[in-house]
Structure 1
Amino acid sequence: MDYCKNIIAKFISAMQKRPGLLAVLAFLSGVASFALVDRKESFSQVIAIFLLISWLWLIIDNWLRDKVEEKFGVAVSPNVMRFALQMVQQESLFFALPFFLAVTQWDHPQAFFTSLIALCAVISVIDPFYYKKLAKNRTLFSVFHNFALFVVLLVTLPILLNLTTSQSLAAALVTAVVVTLPSLNNLMPNARWWRFPILVFILCALSTAVWQLRSYVPPAALRLTDITLAHEVDLQHKKPVGSIKQLDSYTLHHQGLYSWTAVKAPRGLNEKIFHVWLHNKEEVDRITLNINGGRELGYRAWTHKVNFPSDSVGKWQVKVVTESGQLIGLTKFTVTP
């Protein structure tokens, strides 16, 4: 038993001296899992399960420490719990980051969400800021804790349960709050009773706000591998003929446009997506597509639009969005007189 305690103590000491090492390992595991998910490897599911078990362990920490002390007579230091909490948050944030970096449209407001994940990941590594600034503000620290869990759930739920993007987002929001609540006693020791209902209200309010702004959350389970506008589609090879970025109004009205997309849903999702046509930033049409993931280059589908406004001159966009309004990707074209 003493030998095990020494090993654990040495590991914790080594990780505390090199906090960046754990973050690098977590980020690499995220990159590896992202690549493995694309190939439907079961190892990615193992990583996802491990992360969720680590969060469950945080919930039962007090009970577990009491049982260990009762059975083996070994008192686990609170410093171990504090380090474990930081380690799980680091693992979650850096694991999820590659998934969001791969799907984020950086000219869209969803870039703020991915940047927030990256910022939180960096904060979790910088011990002076993490412990002296963040951890001392219990309310902010609880929100940080909740956000780390929410982010990792957005990635792991589709991997494990094959949920659609909308289902994953809703489930992640609810689960993050429910799982955070039992941890509040650890996050806010010796806090007055009235702080807990206030914090619950804050977490619920933030979850509601995220749902209302869900178009800002990149869909971690979906990735647009290609989007092309063309006048024709090769039905035999299922690919567009040419690519259009600019055309005149006469051609647009007489030939219309095909919007050809390849959306990758590597875990075999059944997803409803939409081609949203915008003229000078105003929506003029929304066409539905049902996709099934798993193809190496993405699920290939297209829509053909022939009805355009009489005054169609100007800047156009075709957005590919999920049922919950999350942006998968977009393309732009210009119509001249």
Structure 2
Amino acid sequence: MSALLTPSRITSLQNRVERLVERFKPWSWLWPPMAFAAGLGSFFLVDRQQWLGVVLALGLLFAWLLLLSEGLISRWLAKRGHPTLPQGVTTFIAQMIHQETLFFTLPFILITTVWNSGQTLFAALVVGMAALSIIDPLYYKLAGRWRSLYFIFHAQCVFLVVLVILPIMLHLTTRQSLLLALVITVLVALPSFWHLLNKRSLKDWCLFFGLTMVLAYAAWFGRIWVPPASLWMTSSALSPAFNVQQRQPQGSIALTPQALQANGLYVYTAIRAPRGLSETIYHAWHHNGTLIDLVELSINGGREQGYRAWSQKLNFPADPSGNWRIDIMTDGGQRLGLLRFNVSDAPGEASIADGHINPSGLSGLNLRRFIPGRSSDVEASNGN
């Protein structure tokens, strides 16, 4: 092995890499749109051509392994007196991998973001990171001067790639993917704080451990702001009746207190998921900001128009007037979508539940949920 890694051969290999990088640089502007197109194609073709998503995901994982091992390889070569790649070359390679990651995952984030929620901030963060990765002066300043921020930037890219590819490759649920992505991100982000501490002191070790726990808790607490990159609510509707055989909402009423008490209300959602993925979602009913019902439903991926699921609320409070919100949530606490309506006796203020299926974003199972003090409160069903 040592005979193969002679200084002359390593120097020759280094020169070849440098020449290859110099030849590629004038064409590097093509890399982001190609990665974006690959991500867009993977998102929409993953059901019909699942191999495409798997191949792209494997390639992305391989690139990340190279990036993560670059520091170890450089130190190993330096200890043995071998030359290493110049900082500019390694930073350029890292930039290409960051661009590949950000622009590949960007379609998943943009399409699955619930834009009238806090997820907009997360999507804006990813867009900002993608823009920074293609602005060379800012990116190289980040990599050279602000190493802590650079580690955090890198950790966020790791979070994105794990969040997106695990449901595609391993059919993990969004909850499993989110938990694993958070754990890996915390581990990758730790080097950004490591050099700030004196590891010789027990006090500093305890502080470092506490900082790790705070970082992990903050990441988990903010999960509701993270779009479920593998799930997408394709359509939704509110209606006073429902055709179970055709899985179609029906009827139209003004949502007055009397109408709700007499008819109840159906909420219909269609959720798109990759083929082979089984998920648990929830319809969370809120009245004037207070959660009053949580309905569990199971969905399966593979249907292009989305897996159709619905729930019916039968009993309402004595005075149901006010603002209502139905959050469509994953088992991991990520929001898929939300529906709002207003209940009122005043003319023109009551929302209309007309059964119209509105597009969202760009043998059924029957079960009953019981709330203490009330019976037969909510019925939930779903079907493909």
TM-score class normalised by the smaller sequence? 0.7 to 0.9
Residues 91 and 143, structure 2, Cα contact 8 Å, conserved in 1? no
Structure 2's unaligned 5+ residue stretches are: 1-8, 346-384
Distance 1:136 1:97 in 2: 27
Summarize deviations over 1:34-73 as a string: whole Å, max 9, x none.
1222435211111011111111112222454588999xx8
Equivalent AA in structure 1 for residue 263 of structure 2: Q
* 1:317 to 2:325 alignment: yes
- Cα distance in 1, alignment partners of residues 166 and 209 from structure 2: 23
Q: TM-score, normalised by structure 1?
A: 0.87
Runs (4+) off by over 6 Å: 1-7, 66-70, 195-201
1:298 is aligned to: 306
TM-score by length of 2: 0.77
Give the aligned partner of residue 225 of structure 1.
Answer: 234
Residue pair 1:92, 1:152 contacting (<8 A) in 2 also = yes
Larger-Rg structure: 2
Matched, 1:336 2:340: no
* Aligned match of 2:198: 194
- Any conservation in 1 of the 2:186–2:212 contact (CA below 8 Å)? yes
Shift of 1:236: 1.7
The verdict on how the C-alpha distance between 1:58 and 1:134 changes in structure 2, with shifts beyond 3 A counting, is closer
Residue 138 of structure 2 corresponds to residue 100 of structure 1: no
**Which letter maps to 1:275?**
H
Give the match for residue 267 of structure 1: 275
Q: Distance in 2 between matches of 1:224 and 1:35?
A: 14
Cα distance, 1:277 vs structure 2: 0.9
Q: Is the CA contact 2:98–2:133 (under 8 Å) kept in the aligned structure 1?
A: yes
Cα distance in 2 between the residues matched to 1:217 and 1:192: 29
Q: Aligned partners of 1:262 and 1:43: how far apart in 2?
A: 25
For 1:197-236, what per-residue CA distance to the aligned partner results, in whole angstroms no more than 9, with x for missing partners?
A: 7888656533321211111111011110111111111122
Percent identical among aligned pairs is: 39
2:154 is the alignment partner of 1:123: no
Is the 8 Å Cα contact of residues 143 and 150 (structure 2) preserved in structure 1? yes
- Residue 97 of structure 1: how far off its partner (Å): 0.8
Greater helix fraction, Structure 1 or Structure 2: 1
User: How many residue pairs were aligned?
Assistant: 330
CA deviation after TM superposition for structure 1 residue 178, in Å: 3.6
Instruction: Name the amino acid aligned to 1:115.
Output: A
Identify unmatched segments of 5+ residues in structure 1: none
Match of 1:35 in 2: 44
Contact kept, 8 Å, 2:282 with 2:295, in 1: the verdict is yes
Alpha-carbon spacing, 1:285–1:10, altered in 2? closer, same or farther (3 Å): same
**Aligned equivalents of 2:196, 2:124: Cα separation in 1:** 34
1:86-113 per-position Cα deviation (integer Å, ceiling 9, x unaligned): 1111111111110010011111011111
Partner of 2:297, secondary structure, is strand
Match among 28, 33, 49 for residue 24 of structure 1: 33
Is 1:153 matched up with 2:162?
yes
Indicate if the aligned counterparts of 1:270 and 1:293 stay in contact, CA closer than 8 A: yes
Of 196-205 and 213-222, more deviation after overlay is shown by 196-205
Structure 1: how far apart are the matches of 2:263 and 2:111?
A: 34
Q: Which residue number in structure 2 is paired with residue 137 of structure 1?
A: 146
1:162 maps to 2:166: no
Write the distance in 1 (CA, Å) between the matches of 2:258 and 2:223: 38
Contact 2:14 2:84 in 1 (8 A): no
Q: Do 1:19 and 1:125's aligned partners in 2 also have CA atoms closer than 8 Å?
A: no
